[in-house]
Chains A and B, each alone.
Chain A
Amino acid sequence: MEVFSLIVDGVATAVQPINLMLIVVGVAVGLFIGAMPGLGSVNGVAILLPVTFLVPPASAIIFLAAIYYGAMYGGAISSVTLGIPGASTAVATTFDGRPLALQGRASLALVTAALASFVGGTVATVFFSLFAPLLADVALSFGPPEIFALMLLAFATFVGLGGDDIPKTIFSICFGLVLATVGFDTISGEPRLVLFDIQGFLRGIGFIVLAIGVYGIGEMLWTIEQTRGDVTTTNPKMTAKGLLSDTKESVRRGWKGTWIGSVLGFFVGVLPAAGATPGSLMAYGVAKMTSRKPEEYGTGSPDGVAAPEAANNSASTGSMLPMLTLGIPGSPTTAILLGGMVMWGLTPGPRLFVDESEFVWGLIGSFYISNLVAVLINLAFIPLFVWMLRMPFTILAPLIFVLSIIGGFAATRSMHDIWLIVIFGISAFFMRKFDYPLAPAVLAIVLGPIAEPTLRQSLLLSSGDPMIFFTRPIAAPITVIALILILWPAVKLVRRKRQVVNG
């Protein structure tokens, strides 16, 4: 088997002392950056890009890939311990990770996240090694209609996510989607919804602004008001034995989510434009849908942590694939990696596997090693993160506010957005009081900017005929499945009503 000897060579490259050291440093730096709210893999990779000029390209990309990996692991840490998703890829991790932390089981959530990430990353790397050139072709067959269908499917898997109050859930989804359109309409090249004619809105409203507002400010206010300023943080105990039993429990209760996330994440990640965020959201939705106890989701189910975490690591490996084989970035981070490769004098694209085989397999080999290093470093740091949660709430709360504001600025570099964070935060507090679910709005603002342009591009392609979603061989089945899933709750509702009437 030629592939295996290539992988062995690649791993051998990755464990050379300098590369191994770069991996360890990269993973640690990435973990730390990813754990800061507002900073994600894209910051880490962009900032350390110039530094990589000092080492040969193969080592440089290994280093950057290690940061990328580390940041993916790190995103879960802020989702669990602070309740703020550090990056859009970690939104779904808050749904169950945060409740677990509030129950004093942060270490279970963190262990589950680490293990699921490890499995996700490794499964994806195996797929990557075996099928890279084949999958590159599949990825190319995804045009705008297919990507829109995929977004529809991502929404469909999330229909059940909102609260019991259907109008409020719908309001939240629509609100997120409308916010996503603020700024500029690429298709017509015109500014759009520049609210109150304030020029700051030209830049649009980023996901991170809404997420930090809702989770960093709104949720904190709510907690403080609800507990009358007197939060009794459940004292999480940290012992080696506890960690061991958490590991066992996370394997027992999280294997299914891990499995779903690993596979689904990779395939969604491979598709251009989709990337790790829709991958992790869909994994969560599918895990919940196929679960025998869907009611546990959202209250602290290890499966609910495992699925998105496995998926976002798996997808981040997957998104390297179109970058390397086609020169197409699947996410902002891979876009910067791509820029780096050009700077080092490599031409990403179909010929890279042939012309620079040693570089490519060295990188793939490093994926295996990075994963192993990342899970070990992550597990080693868990006691530290859990210890953070034991701080008195009157110290933790101001720290979270400060991190939200400074992290928000780091991510957006705009005072306008900082004010928006505050406004969203205070509004989110009042909406939360009246049971408006806000997670759907956060998801909508992530998916909206992909869904709307692809919808309109598709309709331009077909000269306005919506049948394009039902006639293309790949788009059609995805669209149909998505529509069935969207309509399913309505069907169930009608059936239940009928039963109630009959009964």
Chain B
Amino acid sequence: MRQGELSLAGFLALLSLYLMWKSTELPIGYISGQGPGGGFWPFWLSFGMLLSCAAIAWNWWRGRSPASVSDEPLMDAFGWRTVARVGGGVVAFVALIPIISMYGAICLFLVYYLRFLGRHSWLLTLAIAIALPIGLFFFFEGAMYISMPQGLPFTQPFFDMMYDIIY
């Protein structure tokens, strides 16, 4: 924890510096007769972020925040594994959207989560993983008129069929 606290503050400080640098593309000063320029607000607020990071580091050095005096690891192996499985699942879910369409990705994600993380029966898993995307399709495409991303061309016939049904 102790090490993590400082690393995170350092990382956020770098982010602040990047934002400050990026803000300078527009005038960051106070233009006489006009008030602040376009970069003023983001620049000085990023500077505020940087100062906060410095204060966080100062608190760390003095051992004032709970994390900075904790010897516990950030997460144990089990914690890391859980986060990697769940977080990784979500990342994979999003990465799959442009390939097998939103609904296909939802289906796979549900199978992965319910069956392999949740250890539910195949029956329940498949029931939810198939019924939910279809229900969402009718809700979004049919009732709400919102088109979700479709996948690579091979998903097309399926969508054409569904559109024939709902419109």
Contact = CB atoms under 8 A, between A and B. Distances in A.
Direct contact of A and B (CB under 8 A): yes
Contact of B12 (A39, A171, A181, A395): A171
A463 B32 CA distance: 8
Interface in A1-16: none
Contacts of B8: 430-431, 434
Contacts of A188: 26, 37-38
A470 interface: no
A460 interface: yes
Given A394-B117, A463-B34, A464-B30, A402 B106 contact: yes
Contact of B144 (A225, A410, A422): A410
A178 B5 contact: no
Interface in B101-136: 102, 106, 109-110, 113-114, 117-120, 128, 132, 136
B63 interface: no
Interface string B139-150: 010011110110
Contacts of A464: 30-35
B61 interface: no
Contacts, number: 175
Contacts of B78: 228
Contacts of B106: 402, 405-406
A221 B120 CA distance: 20
Contacts of B160: none
Given A406-B136, A464-B33, A434 B42 contact: no
A381 interface: no
Contact of B35 (A178, A401, A406, A459): A459
Nearest to B133: A402
Given A177-B45, A178-B45, A425-B90, A190 B35 contact: no
A174 B35 contact: no
Nearest to B43: A178
Interface in A119-150: none
Contact of A193 (B19, B94, B120): B19
Secondary structure of the B side of the interface?
A: helix
Nearest to B58: A167
Interface string A146-169: 000000000000000000011110
B73 to A, nearest CB: 11
B69 interface: no
B146 to A, nearest CB: 5
B128 to A, nearest CB: 7
Nearest to B111: A398
A168 B52 CA distance: 7
Contacts of B34: 459-460, 463-464
Interface stretch (A58-66, A103-111, A333-341, A412-420): A412-420
B41 interface: yes
Interface residues of B, number: 70
Contacts of A399: 132
B82 A402 contact: no
Contacts of A425: 90
Contacts of B132: 399, 402
A458 B36 CA distance: 11
A217 interface: yes
A443 B83 CA distance: 27
Contacts of A167: 52-53, 55-56, 59
Nearest to B105: A405
Given A47-B144, A413-B146, A422 B45 contact: no
B67 to A, nearest CB: 5
A456 interface: yes
Interface string A429-462: 1110111000000000000000010011011101
B48 A174 contact: yes
Interface string A44-63: 00010000000000000000
A238 interface: no
B48 to A, nearest CB: 4
B91 interface: yes
A21 interface: no
Interface string A315-348: 0000000000000000000000000000000000
Contact of B83 (A221, A431, A435): A221
Interface string A164-189: 01111011001101100100010110
> Which one of A170, A406, A418, A433 has the highest number of Cβ atoms from chain B below 10 Å of its Cβ?
A406
Contacts of A392: 118
B93 to A, nearest CB: 7
Given A43-B144, A190-B38, A395-B118, A228 B87 contact: no
8 contacts: A224-B86, A229-B117, A402-B110, A402-B136, A434-B1, A456-B35, A459-B34, A464-B30
